[in-house]
Amino acid sequence: MRKRCSLVGMPGSGKTTVGRQLARRLGVPFIDLDQRLEEVLGSSIRQYFEESGEDAFRDREAQLLDELTAQPGDMVLSTGGGAVLRADNRARLREAGGSVMYLRASPDEIYKRVRHDKTRPLLQVNNPLQRLRELYATRDPLYREASHYIIETGRPTVSSLVNMIMMQLEMPA
């Protein structure tokens, strides 16, 4: 069974929550790209965004994604919601070995999950649901391009989602 997996999807789609459980189940390290970025940057993503801008942040994100996907060995990698915005990142994820899973959730579902979360810089706007809809319209095709499989995250529990991903990982490559 393949034990290298990357998770892509909108902010709030469950990448971190599902990724942690999946890594535990597979017995492999879990790496959260956003958390690792905050360690490297020495600040929160929101603070870095405000001080340096999105382009600088995306440069650092791409650099760290390069480093992590080049590492040998098994892992579950949870990417940031915008990691797919750059074509190089999408290609790197697909070519890094292992499977890329798109955790797909509708903007309305995501809004229900993250509406009170003040740590997400792209959602600190007057109408976060509208912002999610705009992000989804832009990013959904990019997530699809980067991924090998699409996992619908609407109703299932986290353990059900982990089971769905496990079934995909058990299929012959």
pLDDT at 134: 94
- End-to-end distance of the chain based on CA atoms, in angstroms? 9
Q: What are the pLDDT digits (tens) for 28-58?
A: 999 999 999 999 999 998 889 889 998 999 9
Q: What is d(CA 113, CA 154) in angstroms, rounded to the nearest whole number?
A: 11
Q: What are the pLDDT digits (tens) for 9-32?
A: 998 899 999 999 999 999 999 999
Q: What are the pLDDT digits (tens) for 120-165?
A: 666 677 888 898 999 999 999 999 999 999 999 987 788 999 999 9
pLDDT at 157: 87
Q: How confident is the model over 73-91, as a mean pLDDT?
A: 95
